[in-house]
Structure 1
């Protein structure tokens, strides 16, 4: 512990010195120039290039610019045309070191924790939340964020306009649309600089520069010659000089005025409303002079007011945040009126429940999806209401939703507030799902649950449910914490055992998962195996990182799953899904990621889901084979088929048994090629094969796939399995 405290103390000293040095830069240079320069040169990249995916890290994360913009507001603006020139790298390194030392400085919190394992786990949990707050942007893909922003705004549009004075949907559309306006100006500036740099002679460079930047004073032939003799000696030097001069116009990219916004939207929104919106989202220079600089990193005031009001308009160097901030900005305006807030919170809760219900209905077309089941718990003598139960064959997915948000103090890692937030958003719906699951398990009969509608009653026969999949769904994104319940248990946030809790997944993450997984069986397999995997494996990463790993192997990793000395770091694994999800939003065709399997296995699963009784159990067993085992099965089956057709087998009837998985999750898969036998004989032989498979007491299920070689059916002729299957592993 002492080593970490020393590291934190040293980092804090460096941070304090670097902070003073940064403020000196703001005194010497125009802060708008500094923020714009960093946003333009250090955080932008060509389309299709993802530095973080390539390097594993960002050299200059976008949140550094957010910190800069906040610090620039701690004093009055310095009006200066001085460029960074030879100090570019010094300034860049200063900003990088300041942010890195500030993060390392969190080790100082160790001195306040209990000197035991529980205290350390509490610190890790707090650190996870603080780092998530500090560095994670866009808690969903941009297309998802835009949809949620617009839909939440629409919920409250009439009441919002009555209280605030303008339409909430207009507010979101304007705010989101400003991203395109800034992008257009950004690209125009970049194109203008490329044009003059591409020229081949002195005068063409000058002419192109003056034409591209029309605010530049035009230089005559004599002035140009004097300039050439005294300042720049060659063409390359001229281009470098003009490029540096063009940097003085970078702040124009990020500065918007009412007229250009009005024109950008082609007069759709009136100027008075546009100005009122921006006034409510703006800070002025010097306005943050009294703020605690440490709070800027975990509760940055520019996240609630992302613009700086200037004489020329409204400046913001963080358009990358606009869609991410949409909901929180909308809610900050709603919170100004108590009645409006209450109306909104009620509608927001219903919104999440309805979105989740629609998602499950579209993702599980073969299922019965029932919402709002009211039930009485005899254990604690209370009435409850289940948000959603999805019934499909012998499986039941029990879903509970929570639409609350993460408070500022929780984002800063304040222990009491963070723990209450985790209990409210993760533990509460988790416990509700498990409670309803236990009720149905303990009362295996046909139930008729009332709902809010007097005309609708939900019929659930729990005696037919063998496999329960509990799930909590949030609207907020909780990063690494939300998808790893063991962290909450180790930090003593809850006293529950893991088996008493259900996984928690944000709605947007669940939407991505269901979008990519092609079949109902894969979705069930992920949700059930994900709970087991979380219980057995130590890992770091968020839900989509974990899901990307699932696509590699279906969580079929052998004995490593039960090796408590192995730790997986899945951080940034989700980057593998970005091209498809981002391309889909932009209308660009990109190959969809899939769960790795052979073509034959895909065809097998497709046919089973379409035509087979007990298809879900059969598919579940097949999904427990990683791709290499699928290939081994196909190779051995091909050999056996050929031997039977060539008459090179000793026995009259032949089949192959394949033990699948590790000992505690073992399944038996049989391939049974046959010819010239009647249906009764075939069925008797299949029963014998199943009986042989069941002789292995560790086998959780037996599946027989038959191939009639007289007809060469594809991908199989008949499929059968054991009704004694026990598909789910325990969580210990």
Structure 2
């Protein structure tokens, strides 16, 4: 079976492919040395670029471009290739790996265009220099490469609304142990991170309002008022404009100059100073938000090879400013990596870790049951169904079983996580995660199906909670569907399904 066929067997799930960069046409046969040379060349260029300019302006302008593009559908009509989120993430990491004191030098529009292209080439070349194999000769290597591409480029398993719903319900379950271990409730911290997103969005709207005033007004004093706003936003913008109020004689030239100054003021949008933080959050939550921040220069000793598939900002998404505030160029990382952020805080607190693992399992099982109940209101739905195999006398359990007429739906809830090593293509962890999250749940569903098929009316299913017998009307033929659902994918009810059909005298099974 081809790799693509296997992927198609995973219902509702799409695997990512390497983005196509036109400038890399003709590199399909590049050697490892050529890809390594391209990676090293672009890395040196980027390091020099960040060292020679104000990196906060570079990062802020890149972040706002990504936010604007991400709000628009990608239908192929764009004249310029949209930024990928990873390109903003790597830019933030370059800033954190650089000097703590940076130059206050502006970046021209043409240099921004050049920088964005080089960043895309740099990240693309990182994948290019990874070991490659043909699917027909080494399927494991192909899966490892796909895992790396998925980890590097693809984000946001949840929509924002689904993420907020999931994280609130999950973290509320561990409020008491998290407050005991950390001094604050993790659910409150998540709400604070959502509030940070709102604060940044409010600033974006205020910034855009001044740009609209700049572009629409025909009154010189009103245009200068908007320019004054941009000058007050960031010191570099004020320094560049110094004594320019009377330099541009026409309205159009003044307006054009104002637009150029606004490009240097974007860091204000993402800056939350102490006054803003104190007005929005309690002191414990300010400290908690600060614990999610990295200082400039704090990643200077980080192995540069590790930032692409294991970026520290996935767990600590904010930047700590010397002026005791936060710089938040990617507030939406709260929705891209919510589990990584929270699990990093939980690490080292054994009781809290145990409570979190239990909460994940309980929440996933309960939510699956709720979704199935809403989708099939006439179905009889049971959680934690247990039965004993007469041949081995071993007791088995199925997480959620739904009965509707001649149909039996078996759901196996897997609340475990895909390990960091697996996301980087590590063979051992990939095999283990695939076995634990996909193979074993499938086998568990098969066991129940075969039990019903073999014993039919003699089969006995019980509720784990009180050991009472469940009446599934097993004297009638059944159509059995099996699903295994991973935690990160359940909000869209993504599930693994085995294609095919098998008919027996007692149970018709179709998966």
Q: Structure 2: which 5+ runs fail to align?
A: 1-26
Tell me the equivalent position of 1:288.
Answer: 299
2:161 is the alignment partner of 1:151:
no
Q: 1:164 aligns with which of 170, 182, 188?
A: 182
- Max radius of gyration: which structure? 1
**Cα distance between partner residues in 2 of 1:444 and 1:223:** 89
Tell me the equivalent position of 2:455.
Answer: 443
Q: 1:404 aligns with which of 405, 416, 419?
A: 416
Q: 1:36 aligns with which of 51, 60, 85?
A: 60
**Cα distance between partner residues in 2 of 1:225 and 1:263:** 35
Tell me if the contact between 1:197 and 1:239 (Cα under 8 Å) persists in the aligned partners: yes
1:462 CA drift (Å): 3.0
Tell me the equivalent position of 2:97.
Answer: 74
* TM-score normalised by length of structure 1: 0.61
**Cα distance between partner residues in 2 of 1:203 and 1:150:** 48
**Cα distance between partner residues in 2 of 1:419 and 1:56:** 42
- SS in structure 2 opposite 1:134? helix
Identify which of structures 1 and 2 has the higher relative contact order when contacts are C-alpha pairs closer than 8 Å and 6+ apart.
2
Tell me if the contact between 2:421 and 2:429 (Cα under 8 Å) persists in the aligned partners: yes
- SS in structure 1 opposite 2:121? helix
1:57 CA drift (Å): 10
Tell me the equivalent position of 1:242.
Answer: 258
**Cα distance between partner residues in 2 of 1:335 and 1:57:** 42
**Cα distance between partner residues in 2 of 1:371 and 1:7:** 54
1:137 CA drift (Å): 1.4
- SS in structure 2 opposite 1:387? strand
Q: 1:227 aligns with which of 247, 250, 259?
A: 247
Tell me the equivalent position of 1:196.
Answer: 214
Tell me the equivalent position of 1:328.
Answer: 340
2:485 is the alignment partner of 1:507:
no
Tell me the equivalent position of 1:301.
Answer: 312
- SS in structure 2 opposite 1:443? helix
**For the structure 1 residues 104 and 240, does the alpha-carbon distance in structure 2 shift closer, same or farther, using more than 3 Å as the test?**
farther
**For the structure 1 residues 52 and 290, does the alpha-carbon distance in structure 2 shift closer, same or farther, using more than 3 Å as the test?**
farther
Tell me the equivalent position of 1:556.
Answer: none
* TM-score normalised by length of structure 2: 0.85
**1:466-615 pair list within 5 angstroms:** 466-476=478-488, 506-510=489-493, 531-532=498-499
Q: 1:276 aligns with which of 287, 293, 303?
A: 287
CA displacement 1:8-62 (0-9 Å, x = unmatched): 4322211111101101111111221111011113442385x21356569952112
**For the structure 1 residues 218 and 415, does the alpha-carbon distance in structure 2 shift closer, same or farther, using more than 3 Å as the test?**
closer
- SS in structure 2 opposite 1:146? helix
Tell me the equivalent position of 1:263.
Answer: 279
**Cα distance between partner residues in 2 of 1:388 and 1:200:** 66
Tell me if the contact between 1:26 and 1:78 (Cα under 8 Å) persists in the aligned partners: no
**Cα distance between partner residues in 2 of 1:87 and 1:279:** 33
**Cα distance between partner residues in 1 of 2:91 and 2:308:** 10
1:153 CA drift (Å): 0.8
**Cα distance between partner residues in 1 of 2:346 and 2:79:** 39
1:448 CA drift (Å): 3.6
Tell me the equivalent position of 1:17.
Answer: 41
Which range is displaced more, 86-95 or 235-244?
Answer: 235-244
**Cα distance between partner residues in 1 of 2:78 and 2:427:** 34
1:7 CA drift (Å): 4.4
Tell me if the contact between 1:404 and 1:425 (Cα under 8 Å) persists in the aligned partners: yes
**Cα distance between partner residues in 2 of 1:26 and 1:118:** 42
Tell me the equivalent position of 1:100.
Answer: 124
1:276 CA drift (Å): 1.4
1:98 CA drift (Å): 1.1
The count of residues paired between Structure 1 and Structure 2 equals 478
**1:83-162 pair list within 5 angstroms:** 83-85=106-108, 86-106=110-130, 108-110=131-133, 117-119=136-138, 121-162=139-180
**Cα distance between partner residues in 2 of 1:286 and 1:70:** 10
CA displacement 1:560-614 (0-9 Å, x = unmatched): xxxxxxxxxxxxxxxxxxxxxxxxxxxxxxxxxxxxxxxxxxxxxxxxxxxxxxx
Tell me the equivalent position of 1:658.
Answer: none
1:237 CA drift (Å): 3.5
1:96 CA drift (Å): 1.7
**For the structure 1 residues 56 and 368, does the alpha-carbon distance in structure 2 shift closer, same or farther, using more than 3 Å as the test?**
farther
Tell me if the contact between 2:184 and 2:285 (Cα under 8 Å) persists in the aligned partners: no
**Cα distance between partner residues in 1 of 2:378 and 2:204:** 49
Q: Structure 1: which 5+ runs fail to align?
A: 477-505, 514-526, 536-663, 665-699, 701-723
Tell me if the contact between 1:376 and 1:382 (Cα under 8 Å) persists in the aligned partners: yes
State the Cα RMSD in Å.
3.1
